[in-house]
Structure 1
Amino acid sequence: MTRHVVLGKGPIGMTLARQLAAAGHDVLVLSRSGAPSAPSGPTGPTGPTGPTGPTEDGTPGSASASPIQQDAVDISDVAALTRASHGADVLYNCANPAYHRWPTLWPPMADAILAAAESTGAVLVTTGNLYGYGAGTHTMHEDSLLASTETKGLVRIAMWREAERRHREGRVRATEVRGSDYVGPGALGYAHAGPRMLGPLLAGRPLHPIGAADVPHTWTYLADFARALAAAGATEAAWGGAWHVPSPQALTFRQLATLFADAAGAPQPRIRPLPMTAVRLLGIGSPMLREVFAMGYQFVDPFVLDSTRSQSILGLTPTPWDTIVAETLAWWGNRSPGPRTPARR
């Protein structure tokens, strides 16, 4: 049994924690509150998500699977984080501070995480995204240039460059796994393919995607994201590099919505995209939407992730769309009603 410490209890962090626990590992989730997270709901009709029910990838969990421990820590506090991570074999950075405060919140957190990894000797696996590639990189490969000039993209580039530097110096063993907008059980809050799509779609109401509905876009299955993080932590050949989550073929928002509508027997989707000019106006009073506008190129231009190289290194293949749709609809239909909170990694 290995000890895995997961930073952040959002959709990615908790999906990963449940997969690791179901595999029999010792799992500790660290977050600001430390409060236990409610299960995200079943991935199928057979029972609750968690170590003793179906896991996030739909596989039955073992009754003897390790429980998930949770504790509170300020991730930017080097000493506190290092103490909490003591004994970790792998440290997963699945944290995600407030979207509009990345330039101020991420640097001290990233520095503390690197320091904790160096002190404990744990392999550091960072949950990344595609922001660093920047506008105009319509098809993204692992060796595509990190050429973003946008603030959040620059933050992510700086984080990876520092981790990469310390890895080369032999101070840490670091890797990063990058995914696109996620879909699947647990995708709540601001997820573009979460409640903002499924709620109105299944109720026969119009959908209002950001920017456009007919450009190809990669969608990453949450369970695949978690599997890729775990594989990167266990695969020495992955250390020192950045990898893409094995993801299924890109779909336009219209194609994605139609897949879900057909599988659910819902009416064909009525789609009315929200123009970027409207997003910009709405952003005057919303810090979150201001940041969405800054990333608008992702929604009006092709935004496609290639994961061919990662599939070879990590030994994974993407979940097919029919399985993604079936498992997501089963989860949606069986999830416990409750308040919707912003999706956090």
Structure 2
Amino acid sequence: MFNLLVAPFVLAGEPAQYPADLDAAHSWAYPGDVARTLVALSRDDRAWGRPWHVPAVSDLSVRAITARLAELAGLADHQLIAMSALALHNAALVDPITSGVPEMQYLSQRPFLMDGSRVTETFGVTPTPLDAVLTETVESFHRAVV
């Protein structure tokens, strides 16, 4: 969601809207870490019968993550706005990607923190550093617009 609704707009110097409490702490997962976790779990019998959580890149709020993205991109200013329930409802009516977001709002309207330390301790999967993830996001955006 962040890479669809926030990053491209902030990096283009436009206001971004996000359907969440912008200041609520949230566990963020990097897709590469998700993949590495799934591979590690699929190759080890210790994974059977237990829940596992991907180690979080960060537990910062979307506002703090956005500010760090802008800083790494060298942007002096950015604007992040909480998307209203009505705007989210309307977007969900016309966009298949957004259509499932309203029912998942309980994950975005209050702190949502996951503990992935067991994956790190058991399988050695460590989270990618936040700045590396955000730098990759900035570089991907610049490659896409060039």
What TM-score, normalized to structure 2? 0.86
Q: Deviations over 1:173-195 (max 9, x none)?
A: xxxxxxxxxxxxxxxxxxx1114
Letter in 2 for 1:251: L
Following the alignment from structure 1 to structure 2, what is the Cα–Cα distance between the partners of residues 235 and 305?
22
The match for 2:31 is 222
Cα distance 1:314–1:266, how it changes in 2: closer, same or farther (>3 A)? same
Q: Going by fraction, where is helix more abundant, 1 or 2?
A: 2
Give the superposition deviation at 1:312: 1.2
Following the alignment from structure 2 to structure 1, what is the Cα–Cα distance between the partners of residues 127 and 92?
39
Following the alignment from structure 1 to structure 2, what is the Cα–Cα distance between the partners of residues 193 and 314?
28
Flag the structure with more relative contact order, 1 or 2, with Cα contacts below 8 A and sequence separation at least 6. 2
Q: Residues 212 and 274 of structure 1 are in contact (CA less than 8 Å); yes or no, is this contact kept in structure 2?
A: no
CA RMSD across the alignment:
2.1
The match for 2:93 is 285
Corresponding residue to 2:40 among 198, 209, 231: 231
Following the alignment from structure 2 to structure 1, what is the Cα–Cα distance between the partners of residues 14 and 121?
41
Cα distance 1:332–1:278, how it changes in 2: closer, same or farther (>3 A)? closer
Cα distance 1:285–1:196, how it changes in 2: closer, same or farther (>3 A)? closer
5+ unaligned residues in a row in structure 1: which ranges?
1-191, 338-345
Following the alignment from structure 1 to structure 2, what is the Cα–Cα distance between the partners of residues 283 and 200?
16
The match for 1:275 is 84
5+ unaligned residues in a row in structure 2: which ranges?
none
* 1:30-179 aligned within 5 A: none
Partner-residue secondary structure (3-state), 1:330: helix
The match for 2:134 is 325
Give the superposition deviation at 1:336: 7.7
Corresponding residue to 1:204 among 1, 10, 13: 13
Q: Deviations over 1:278-310 (max 9, x none)?
A: 323x16834744531111111211111111112
Q: Residues 92 and 100 of structure 2 are in contact (CA less than 8 Å); yes or no, is this contact kept in structure 1?
A: no
Corresponding residue to 1:306 among 111, 115, 119: 115
What TM-score, normalized to structure 1? 0.39
Cα distance 1:308–1:193, how it changes in 2: closer, same or farther (>3 A)? same
Give the superposition deviation at 1:260: 0.8
Cα distance 1:285–1:316, how it changes in 2: closer, same or farther (>3 A)? closer
Partner-residue secondary structure (3-state), 1:311: helix
Letter in 2 for 1:246: P
Letter in 2 for 1:310: V
Following the alignment from structure 1 to structure 2, what is the Cα–Cα distance between the partners of residues 264 and 284?
30
Give the superposition deviation at 1:240: 2.6
Give the superposition deviation at 1:267: 3.1
Cα distance 1:325–1:298, how it changes in 2: closer, same or farther (>3 A)? same
